[in-house]
Structure 1
Amino acid sequence: MECGFHKRGIEPDWVARVSLDYLKPLVDAANAKAKTTK
């Protein structure tokens, strides 16, 4: 079930893909920083 989309024509798969493309470098950088501080 899709929820949280306030207009028609939104593709949940596209939203998820774009969100992950944005977050992946941030998570990778945070993980790299965490490894160097241990």
Structure 2
Amino acid sequence: MCKSGSIKLRGIGLHEIEEMNKGRAEKRKDAVEIYFGK
């Protein structure tokens, strides 16, 4: 699942990731953290 999220985030722009970080979906937030390598 993590890999799938990373690939999806890769195709999305930073602006979309920021919107997700705002609190759109907690599950996606986890993927964002992994994508950033936190």
Higher RCO (C-alpha 8 Å, min separation 6):
2
State the structure with more CA Rg.
Answer: 1
Q: Same fold (TM over 0.5)?
A: no
Given the two structures, how large is their TM-score scaled by the length of structure 1? 0.33
Given the two structures, how large is their TM-score scaled by the length of structure 2? 0.33
Higher helix share: 2
